[in-house]
Structure 1
Amino acid sequence: MASNTLGARLLRRKPVSSLIAESEGHGGVPSGAPEEGGRSGIHLRRSIGLWQLSSIGIGATIGTGIFFVLNTAVPSAGPAVILSFVIAAVTAGLTALCYAEMASAIPVSGSSYSYAYATLGEGVAFGVGICLLMEYGVSASAIAVSWAEYLNKFLDLAFGVKIPEQLSGAPDGTHWFNLPALLLVAMVCVLLVRGVSESVKVNAAMVGIKILILLLFIGVALTGFHSGNLTPFMPLGIGGVQVAASSIFFSFIGLDAVSTAGEEVKNPRRTLPLAIIISLVVVTLLYILVALAGIGAQPWQQFDGQEAGLAQILQDITGQSWPAMVFAVGAILSIFSITLVVIYGQTRILYSMGRDGMLPKRFAQLSPRTGTPVWNTLVVGVLVGALAAFIPLDVLADITSLGTLIAFSVVSIGVIILRRTQPDLPRGFKVPGYPVVPLLSVGFCVYLITGLHADTFRAGAIALVVGVIVYFGYGIKHSKLEQQREEQPEQESAVADAETG
């Protein structure tokens, strides 16, 4: 008989076989019967190939922070922000290898939430789900705020007009709310409601534009490169490098976004790990080149408070408006694609949690026409839009990093646990240097977590309290594993009656 203690219920794990069966639409539901929380026979469709999935990873990662993170990170580290990118990239690389193994072994939606459910238990999985919702929701808001800055820059350069100051920023003495950010979130949600296939095609096209404009920035910025801008290299010490690395780490969440598409990928055991590794290599090279070019082209003290910073650097170097205007247009299109991917990832995590009974059944419902979780998209759109309209950019960035680092740590720990508990589970990819690589991944994540600002931990604590209330108020009572636990004594009693009858 299953244990009824609180500890046992918090630590109960979902079998990998059940996760995979549900992802294929075979979650133990009789033919023709409606699925729990959903509609009969409706499940996510496998329509994404390797290059499309790599585009999701590149699209969610390049630009998640690079279009604005220099203006928040450089003041903390000076020219040594280049080392901050290296530290963040090493952490992301170690974690990417762990994600590749987990994604190939458990090719389902839900990302590290699903991986935690299979390895660390229900209580930890719900906590990770909250971190992921923080990670995706808050980062989408931060990205939308950056989009508003580049839109304003383009309108100024092209037409000599600007969005009214009251409608272009978080509330303070001057601003009321960020209207452009709100409009961006609304447009993305409309596209996602139409279907994932259309969304992926739009994203793949925009990824190409994004890479081209970043290469444009690197090429032009290097013409204005002055080695004197790199000295002193570390004016704020190693502590500043750590703070900057912690703040910019959210720029690597595209790796996580790849794994949220597990149920919509063709040949997932091969495609998922390859897409994660391709995404990591491309984005790391571009990030470091952009940081080096930007720091070389402009004294580090000028980055503080600079809006649409990369476009402004191009304008200052060339003395003309057209390079900055071209870059601003590219940034507007690119940031749209990033927002698209990040909101997409959050809706799939809510879908997985709803399917598991951890959230109300409504979150597990899919549209019979498009096969997309429409309700989730609407909920996410409202919440992300509200954050983007009313919360400052630097606060959003740090909260995103906290959620990302916690989720990444859990995945690395999950690799070790799954190797021990299910060594024979088929894996399309295995982490090299095991167990050193997963342990290093956890160590680097903890190091970056300690570099975050105190306000970030307060925001994280509030999110944790909300998560505890939701889990103990709803999730622990309605999860599918709880339903199975309650049904087991009835089944055992029926068997006993039959034997004695």
Structure 2
Amino acid sequence: MKKGELAKELGVWEAFLLSVGGMIGAAIFVLGAQTGMIAGPSAILAWALAGLLMFIIALVLVEQATVFPRAGAIPAYAMETFGKSFAVRSFASFLGGWGSLIGQWFGVPFSAMYVGGYVVSIIPSLAGYETIITWLVLTFAFLLNISGISITGKANAALTALLLVLMLAFFFRGAPAVNLNNYSPFFATGGINFLKAIPIAALGFGAWLSILAAAEEIKNPEKTLPKAIGLSILVTTVFYLLILFPLYGTVNWQEFTPENPFAFWAPLSYAAVKFAPAESWVQLVISLAAILALITTVIALMLLASRVIYGMGKIGIFPSGCGYVWARRRTPAVALIIVYVVSMILGSNPDWVMAIIVIGTVMYAIGFLVGILSHIGLRINRKDIKAPFRVPGGIGFSIIAFVALALLLINVSTLEIWYSLLAVVVGIVYFVIRYASRTGVFAKKPS
């Protein structure tokens, strides 16, 4: 291994569990109620379709990752595939990286903020200390990440395995209490509302990108990445459906309303009270599973954000210091410190939660859009390269991915667009200044 390179230590199993642990986070413990309110019983199908649409988008990025197994993922792909113009390639690389970075980075403090509420549900005496709990979670994730990818992968694997066991316990206890009448009529709120539930459910599937962003640290990426990504999205979808089946089967969808705050904000706990009112262990299982899910998501998203910053620093779009590797642990120390410090600041301000959500929603879609365009560029502009893993249909599959992304954005409001445009403008201003500075990658002769 050369000096300054990241450690290549993740195998299929570790990569798979890192992806699963990243995906199963706050979404399933909160958003099940929102999708149920919007789509009625058909919300369970909306979650299944969200998993399928994410799988389609993931495949076009996995193909590129097997050709360019580099840290950061999307910015590296765009720099290689967006034609001969240096200005176009560098801007696409920046925009794709900026979108995926902000979209996923904001998930770090968002997930950490919710841990406190579940901890307090187990230990009520800790009420009022939620921000300190947020800081502790962020610090734990930072220390794991900076200790090395091997330690991060092993710790995350153990936490994720325990999480899946707890989720199965909820399913096996709740399934016998399901009343199938709660699933009729299935499309209770109509087809349009069913479509609107899909992008909300999709928020629970984005963290698989962490594995692509860490491609430089994965053994045999051309074989490991397709297996780990495909299997992790499939398993995550299955586990989501296992949880949602007793949720929608024991709680009538009309109970998921802001006027019923218990059902709206803690749907799994609400369901448990209905199907196991005298069994306190079920509530404990939900709280522990939520804590583990949120922590594993923080770990994965912190890894993802740091690798995007590192990858953009390595390319030269961000300052070269962002590409620094701590020789002792082979980790991107500077990038991790940046992610940690900003996450601590955001995590200290719970009032910013909604702004975090609305900006992140569109920004990660911008990253995916650049990634899909990069796939088209790979097939058209880089005929000198044949990927070890190729999706069927070539550019036709990219068009399918565009449709999938459009469906995932069907519920985006004007407010979200304006918030996100502000984030885009901030990024473009930085890019213009960086481009004009003729430093980093911009100091090189365009090719």
Q: Distance in 2 between matches of 1:315 and 1:151?
A: 18
**127, 137, 148: which one pairs with 1:163?**
127
Distance 1:244 1:264 in 2: 35
Cα separation, partners in 2 of 1:461 and 1:261, compared to 1, 3 Å: same
The partner residue of 1:148 within 97, 116, 131 is 116
- Give the CA deviation at 1:463: 0.6
Larger mean CA deviation between 385-394 and 399-408 belongs to: 385-394
Comparing 215-224 and 388-397, the one that deviates more? 388-397
Instruction: State the TM-score, normalizing by the size of structure 1.
Output: 0.81
CA contact (8 A) 2:60 2:391 kept: yes
The answer on 1:331 being equivalent to 2:290 is: yes
Q: Decide which of 271, 296, 311 is 1:313's aligned counterpart.
A: 271
> Which of residues 61, 75, 80 is equivalent to 2:23?
61
Aligned to 2:170: 217
1:463 alignment partner in structure 2: 423
CA displacement 1:179-201 (0-9 Å, x = unmatched): 43233112211222222221111
Structure 2 gaps of 5+ residues are: 83-88
Counterpart of 2:375 in structure 1 is 415
Deviation string, structure 1 residues 81-100 (Cα, Å, up to 9, x no partner): 12321331221121122122
1:32-60 Cα shifts (integer Å, max 9, x gaps)? xxxxxxxxx21111111111111111111
Greater CA deviation, 319-328 or 345-354?
319-328
Using CA pairs under 8 Å that are at least 6 residues apart, name the structure with larger relative contact order, 1 or 2.
2
CA 1:232–1:384 in structure 2 vs 1: closer, same or farther (change >3 Å)? farther
In structure 1, give the amino acid aligned to 2:121: K
Residue matched to 1:101: 63
- Does structure 1 retain, via aligned residues, the 8 Å contact 2:316–2:442? no
- 1:404 is displaced (CA, Å) by 2.6
- The residue that corresponds to 2:338 in the other structure is 379
Identity %: 23
The 1-side partners of 2:386 and 2:392 are apart by: 16
Alpha-carbon separation, structure 1, partners of 2:287 and 2:369 = 35
Match of 1:365 among 324, 344, 355: 324
Name the amino acid aligned to 1:374. Answer: A
Question: What SS does structure 2 have at the residue aligned with 1:236?
Answer: coil
Indicate the structure (1 or 2) with the bigger Cα radius of gyration: 1
Deviation at 1:253, TM superposition (A): 1.3
**1:198-230 deviation per Cα after TM superposition (whole angstroms, max 9, x unaligned):** 111100111111211111122122122112222
CA gap 1:477/1:91 in 2 versus in 1, 3 angstroms: farther
Shift of 1:394: 5.2
Asked whether the equivalents of residues 250 and 400 of structure 1 are also in contact (C-alpha less than 8 Å), the reply is no
Q: Deviations over 1:273-309 (max 9, x none)?
A: 1111111211121122322221111122333444443
Q: C-alpha offsets along residues 332-385 of structure 1, whole Å, 9 cap, x if unaligned?
A: 123212210111110010001111221222211121211112222222122223
Which residue is 2:86 aligned to? Answer: none
CA distance in 2, matches of 1:292, 1:392: 32
Change (3 A) 1:236 1:389: farther
Taking the aligned partners of 1:49 and 1:474, their CA distance within structure 2 comes to 37
Asked whether 1:129 is paired with 2:97, we answer yes
Q: Taking structure 2 as the reference length, what is the TM-score of the superposition?
A: 0.90
Q: In the aligned structure 2, how far is the partner of 1:307 from the partner of 1:98? A: 35
For residues 350-499 of structure 1, the aligned pairs below 5 Å read 350-390=309-349, 391=351, 393=353, 395-475=355-435, 477-478=437-438, 480-485=440-445
Distance 1:112 1:47, change over 3 A: same
Structure 1 counterpart of 2:138, one-letter code: V
Q: 1:395 to 1:220 in 2, by over 3 A?
A: farther
Count of matched residue positions in the alignment of Structure 1 and Structure 2: 434
For residue 218 of structure 2, the aligned residue among 232, 250, 265 is 265
Residue by residue over 1:454-500, the C-alpha shift from the partner in whole angstroms, topping out at 9 and shown as x without a partner, is: 221122111101101111112553454422217x9xxxxxxxxxxxx
Deviation, 1:393, is 4.7
- Of 347-356 and 209-218, deviating more is 209-218
Q: RMSD across aligned C-alpha pairs, in angstroms? A: 2.2
Distance 1:155 1:478, change over 3 A: farther
Q: Deviations over 1:61-86 (max 9, x none)?
A: 12352222213332222222123213
Q: Between 243-252 and 230-239, report the one with greater CA deviation.
A: 230-239
In terms of mean alpha carbon deviation, does 291-300 or 61-70 score higher?
61-70
Is the CA contact 1:398–1:456 (under 8 Å) kept in the aligned structure 2? yes
3-state DSSP of counterpart to 1:433: coil
Give deviations 1:232-255, integer Å, cap 9, x for gaps.
433433332233211231211122
Specify which of 322, 326, 335 is matched with residue 281 of structure 2: 322
User: Do the aligned partners of residues 199 and 70 (structure 1) sit closer, same or farther apart at CA in structure 2, a change above 3 Å counting?
Assistant: same
